[in-house]
């Protein structure tokens, strides 16, 4: 048996895998439909700016000033006003029944206290069951309070220190600008880990692995041959996400496309090796798919910083995410896409991603060769 690596034999394995992919409706669907669905679902459905907040207003004063206060809330375009159906208790019960997310209680003599003493009070009750939404709503109140002071008194209260905020890299705080660049991570992880997790397990279940072993093909040639078509599929998926982001959502690509491509390729190879390792260890397609979803999809969505910031997690989980390739590529993707970061800025994420990629490749190759030994 010729023990020298032969690239032609690897290409023959790649050609065989390509024919299987073309004949497999599930694989073709995963490779073509899934990236489009992910872009549409996450890009259009996820919105971090809270809008259309139900606000029950109980106005016991019913004066010009109290109506002006309510007008400030309604004109902010964040709140939908629900007039109170009765007493203060009813306004509070609207929070319990989830008819409203917040209640504004304006007590009698609201305008009298404003005109007589120069100050007055109103109570704002907020449903804190969803702390993330409550935090966003509280952030709105600062600007609404300043607008209300100006509208009711005609003067703008000046603070001793005035802070002016400027948002870099995402001036309008657009959620798609934050979500869509991260989709490259999710798309690559799902496609590469899931598809390669099935490829070797399928060979074992069908009995075709024994036929491959009876040929001069070496284990390394089988690995490379099987990874080539999935690498092409993964890179095509990344290209699709980038095109949809730029042309569909109008997100500017600020960085170097070649550097982004290199990072995508390293991450893709790491995920392919992870899927190959799962397939070699499990050898059954059903269980391989389940493990691929748990180790590929869930970390990419929950522990990579795609939706939830890593800085808000406990230190234990922050350290744990360092062993996930998706964390490092998420930093690379958003850094290049939105910030225009170069390799020097991203040397640590590239190093972490390269090390994890190398470890996964070596582990998958050694385990694969060990399992194929007679």
pLDDT at 309 over 70: yes
Structure confidence by residue, pLDDT tens digits, 228-239: 888 888 888 888
* Rounded Cα–Cα distance for residues 182 and 175 (Å): 11
Same domain, 305 and 217: yes
Query: Region 143-170: what's the mean pLDDT?
Result: 74
Same domain, 42 and 57: no
* Rounded Cα–Cα distance for residues 16 and 235 (Å): 20
Kindly give the residue spans of alpha helices, DSSP state H, lying in the chain: 7-23, 25-40, 64-75, 88-96, 110-117, 131-153, 175-206, 208-213, 219-243, 257-282, 285-292, 298-302, 315-320, 325-334, 347-372
**Which one has a higher pLDDT value, 289 or 124?**
124
pTM, 2 dp: 0.78
Same domain, 19 and 87: no
Residue 197 lies in a domain: yes
Query: Region 142-168: what's the mean pLDDT?
Result: 74
Residue 266 CB partners (closer than 8 Å, separation 6+): 329, 350, 353, 354, 357
Lowest mean pLDDT among 204-208, 327-331, 346-350: 204-208
Same domain, 200 and 348: yes
Residue 360 CB partners (closer than 8 Å, separation 6+): 270, 273, 274, 277, 325
Domain that holds residue 251: 7-46+173-372
pLDDT at 332 over 60: yes
Which tokens sit at 320? 């744990």
Same domain, 260 and 346: yes
Query: Quick one: which of 203, 167, 191, 197 has its CA closest to 287?
Result: 197
pLDDT at 104 over 60: yes
How confident is the model at residue 34, as a pLDDT? Answer: 77
Same domain, 285 and 352: yes
Give Rg (Cα) of the chain: 28
How confident is the model at residue 135, as a pLDDT? Answer: 81
Evaluated on CA atoms 70, 74, 80, 83, the torsion sign reads positive
Same domain, 204 and 317: yes
**Which one has a higher pLDDT value, 227 or 2?**
227
Same domain, 84 and 231: no
* Averaged pLDDT score across all residues of the chain: 82
pLDDT at 1 over 50: no
3-state SS, one letter per residue, for 6-47? CHHHHHHHHHHHHHHHHHCHHHHHHHHHHHHHHHHHHHHHCC
H or E element, residue 139: helix 131-153
Same domain, 213 and 242: yes
pLDDT-based confidence at 333, cuts 50/70/90?
A: very high
Query: Region 31-38: what's the mean pLDDT?
Result: 76
Same domain, 146 and 250: no
Same domain, 62 and 24: no
Inter-axis angle of helices 64-75 and 131-153, nearest 10: 130
* Rounded Cα–Cα distance for residues 253 and 346 (Å): 16
Report the first-to-last Cα separation within the chain, whole angstroms.
Answer: 14
pLDDT at 359 over 80: yes
Residue 159 lies in a domain: no
pLDDT-based confidence at 2, cuts 50/70/90?
A: very low
How confident is the model at residue 161, as a pLDDT? Answer: 65
How confident is the model at residue 59, as a pLDDT? Answer: 87
How confident is the model at residue 371, as a pLDDT? Answer: 52
How confident is the model at residue 355, as a pLDDT? Answer: 94
**Which of 78-92, 195-209, 263-277 is most confident?**
263-277
Residue 163 lies in a domain: no
pLDDT at 210 over 70: no
pLDDT at 222 over 90: no
Query: Region 250-255: what's the mean pLDDT?
Result: 87
Residue 63 lies in a domain: yes
Residue 203 CB partners (closer than 8 Å, separation 6+): 209, 212
* Rounded Cα–Cα distance for residues 226 and 245 (Å): 30
SS3 257: helix
pLDDT at 47 over 80: no
- Residue 112 sits in a domain of what CATH number? 3.40.1710.10
Residue 240 lies in a domain: yes
Residue 266 lies in a domain: yes
What's phi and psi for 125, nearest 5 deg? -100, 135
- Eight-class DSSP state of 343: T
Beta carbons of 26 and 73 less than 8 angstroms apart = no
**DSSP-derived secondary structure for 229-245:** HHHHHHHHHHHHHHHII
pLDDT at 39 over 50: yes
> Which of 94, 123, 153 represents a domain boundary (last residue)?
153
Residue 244 lies in a domain: yes
Structure confidence by residue, pLDDT tens digits, 159-187: 566 667 777 788 777 788 888 888 888 88
Helix, strand, coil share of the chain (percent; to 5): 70, 5, 25
Same domain, 27 and 75: no
Per the structure, the count of domains in the chain is 2
Residue 162 lies in a domain: no
- Eight-class DSSP state of 283: -
How confident is the model at residue 346, as a pLDDT? Answer: 93
How confident is the model at residue 318, as a pLDDT? Answer: 86
> Which of 98, 120, 153 represents a domain boundary (last residue)?
153
């Amino acid at each position: 048996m010729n023990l020298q690596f032969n690239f032609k034999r690897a290409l023959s394995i790649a050609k065989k895998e390509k024919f299987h992919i073309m004949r497999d409706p599930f694989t073709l669907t995963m490779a073509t439909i899934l990236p489009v669905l992910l872009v549409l679902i996450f890009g259009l459905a996820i919105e971090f700016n809270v809008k259309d907040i139900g606000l029950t207003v109980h106005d016991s004063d019913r004066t010009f000033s109290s109506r002006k206060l309510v007008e400030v809330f309604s004109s902010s375009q964040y709140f939908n006003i629900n007039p109170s159906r009765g007493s203060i208790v009813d306004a509070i019960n609207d929070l319990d029944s989830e008819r409203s997310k917040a209640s504004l209680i304006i007590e009698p003599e609201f305008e009298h206290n404003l005109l007589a003493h120069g100050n007055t009070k109103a109570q704002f009750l907020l449903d804190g069951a969803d702390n993330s939404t409550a935090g966003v709503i509280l952030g709105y109140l600062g600007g609404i309070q300043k607008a209300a002071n100006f509208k009711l008194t005609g003067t703008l209260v000046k603070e001793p220190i005035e802070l002016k905020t400027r948002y870099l890299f995402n001036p309008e705080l657009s959620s798609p600008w934050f979500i869509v660049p991260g989709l490259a991570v999710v798309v690559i992880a799902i496609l590469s880990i899931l598809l390669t997790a099935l490829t070797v397990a399928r060979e074992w279940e069908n009995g075709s692995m024994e036929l491959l072993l009876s040929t001069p093909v070496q284990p390394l040639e089988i690995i490379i041959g099987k990874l080539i078509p999935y690498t092409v599929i993964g890179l095509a998926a990344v290209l699709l996400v980038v095109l949809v982001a730029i042309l569909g959502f109008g997100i500017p690509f600020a960085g170097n496309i070649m550097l982004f491509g290199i990072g995508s390729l390293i991450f893709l190879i790491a995920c392919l090796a992870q899927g190959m390792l799962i397939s070699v260890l499990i050898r059954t397609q059903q269980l391989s798919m389940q493990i691929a979803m748990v180790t590929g999809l869930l970390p990419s969505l929950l522990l990579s910083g795609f939706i939830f910031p890593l800085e808000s997690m406990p230190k234990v989980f922050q350290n744990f995410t360092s062993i996930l390739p998706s964390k490092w590529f998420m930093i690379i993707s958003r850094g290049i896409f939105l910030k225009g970061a170069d390799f020097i800025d991203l040397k640590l994420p590239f190093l972490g991603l390269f090390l994890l990629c190398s470890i996964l490749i070596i582990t998958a190759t050694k385990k694969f060769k060990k399992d194929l030994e007679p």
